[in-house]
Amino acid sequence: MGFPVVLGIESSCDETGAGLVRGGRLLGHAVASSMDEHARYGGVVPEIAARAHVHSFTPVVQLALEQAGLRARDIDAVAVTTGPGLSGALQVGLAGAKALAYTLDVPLYGVHHLAGHVAADTLEHGPLPNPCMVLIVSGGHTSLLLVRDLARDPIQHLGDTLDDAAGECFDKVARVFGLPYPGGPAIDRAARGGDAGAVPFPRPLTGPRDDPYAFSFSGLKTAAARWAERHAGSPLPVADGSAALQEAIADVLTRKAVAACRAHGVDTLVVVGGVAANSRVRSLAEQRCGEAGITLRVPPLKLCTDNGAMIAAVGDLLVRAGAEAAPLDVSIDPSAPL
Ligand code: KG4
Ligand code: ZN
């Protein structure tokens, strides 16, 4: 008998994702985003996100099946994000996943959203070495995780941001700089013509007495706003400000991630989440990992941001490890700890 086909469903924030994985291989996936509907509010509006998931759920599942050349009856298991995330948004995905699992008479698996981000890379680069260090950087998370066997061992959460996530810092500063939402890609583009040394932005929590695994980005956001205010009345040198901000964020993220690898004797670093798309985060991570003899793994962009394939990837590992399925009355866990 071949490997089972696992459908993964993701709906924790503004992306409705469905993906199909068999034996560690991605067969097809589709994502619908309500990002444009949130743009004029400058951030995700939970009610709008939940409605958009109701709208997109079935078409996205259909599209993923089409892409994979499969029918619904080919699905052997359903995996779904149960948390953390926006509760209304999670409810929609879980309700849909339960309905599918019940009608197809296949097992249902609840998946932690961050485990999904970690597993995304396996679809491109194969199984993760045990152990490995994972830096998750997105609009909602900035975390360092020590990962062993994803299907069997709990993920060891080393540290988080104490305030804003790195992506949130990009998005908020972009707004101050008059750049469009989402701000990360806009700052990345604006930074191309800029001088990263033009503004001496701080490097928060990188001192010898600071928690080596904690991050803080709200001070950086304030420093960027103060810098912009000082230019009131004259044109803002957005390229320089963007390059300097990006440099500060990339410096802090990569310095701490490499130090965490060294401290735990880990020789593989995986960087995932939307901010892993940032050109300076990537180049500095490559440089510093190279110097430290650490193998760097970054999944392709489409797997870095929220998607259903990464949830299917965890489901696939759970099924193959013989993990116990979730009961059909399982609930969401919006503030799920790791
Ligand atoms: O993983 P993701 O799609 O969603 C979650 O937050 O879970 O990440 C979105 C975040 C946004 O804050 C966006 O501005 C940021 O990733 N981002 C970037 C880049 N592309 C996306 N930040 C910096 N540079 C980029 N090129
Ligand atoms: Zn995410």
Is 275 close to ligand 1, i.e. is its CB under 6 Å away?
yes
CA-closest candidate to residue 275, choices 311, 307, 305, 308 = 305
Q: What confidence tier does 1 reach under pLDDT thresholds 50, 70, 90?
A: low
pLDDT at 42 over 80: no
**Ligand 1 neighbour 299 (Cβ under 6 A):** no
- Ligand 1 atom nearest 249 alpha carbon: 23
- ∠ CA(76), CA(65), CA(39), 5° rounding? 120
Which residue owns the Cα nearest ligand 1 atom 18?
A: 184
| Mean pLDDT across 297-310 | 93
Q: Residue 187 above 70 pLDDT? A: yes
Identify the band that residue 84 occupies on the pLDDT scale cut at 50, 70 and 90. very high
Identify the burial level of 103 via C-beta atoms within 10 angstroms of its C-beta, where 0-12 means exposed, 13-18 middle and 19 or more buried.
Answer: exposed
Residue 337: asked if its preceding bond is cis (omega within 30°), the reply is: no
**What does DSSP say about strands 5-10 and 15-22: parallel, antiparallel, or unpaired?**
antiparallel
DSSP 57-92: HHHHHHHHHHHHT--GGG--EEEEEEESS-HHHHHH
Nearest ligand to residue 83 Cα? 2
Q: What is the pLDDT of residues 17-29, one digit of tens each?
A: 999 999 999 999 9
Average pLDDT of the residues of the chain: 95
What separation in Å is there between the alpha carbon of 170 and the centre of ligand 2? 16
Binding site listing for substrate: 136-140, 171, 184, 188, 278
Q: Which domain holds residue 268?
A: 130-298
pLDDT tens-place string over residues 194-205: 999 999 999 999
Least-confidence region, from 140-144, 239-243, 259-263: 140-144
Q: Is 306 in the pocket of ligand 1 (CB under 6 A)?
A: yes
In this structure, the answer to whether residues 204 and 240 fall within a common structural domain is yes
Q: Return the best residue to mutate from 114, 252, 305 for the ligand 1 pocket (most ligand atoms within 8 A of CB).
A: 305
Query: What average pLDDT score do residues 302-309 get?
Result: 92
- Residue 237 has a pLDDT of 96
Tell me, yes or no, whether 273 and 152 share the same domain.
Answer: yes
The per-residue pLDDT for range 86-115, each reduced to its tens digit, is 999 999 999 999 999 999 999 999 999 999
Residue 46's domain is classified under what CATH number?
3.30.420.40
Residues 170 and 217 in one domain: yes
- Same domain (yes/no): 85, 114: yes
Which SS3 state, helix, strand or coil, does residue 279 take? helix
- Residues 148, 91 within the same domain: no
Confidence tier at 338 by pLDDT (50, 70, 90): low
Point out the ligand 1 atom lying closest to the alpha carbon of residue 167.
Answer: 12
Taking the model in full, what pTM does it have?
0.91
Beta bridge partners of 256: none
Please work out whether the CB of residue 182 comes within 6 Å of at least one atom of ligand 1.
yes
Residue 326 forms part of a structural domain: no
CA–CA separation, 85 and 13 (whole Å): 6
Q: Is the CB of 34 under 6 A from ligand 1?
A: no
DSSP string, 168-213: HHHHHHHHHTTPPSSHHHHHHHHGGGS-TTSS----TT-STTS-TT
Convert the pLDDT of each residue in 210-255 to its tens digit: 999 999 999 999 999 999 999 988 899 999 999 999 999 999 999 9
Are residues 139 and 69 both part of a single domain? Answer: no
Q: How far from chain centre, in Å, is Cα 91?
A: 20
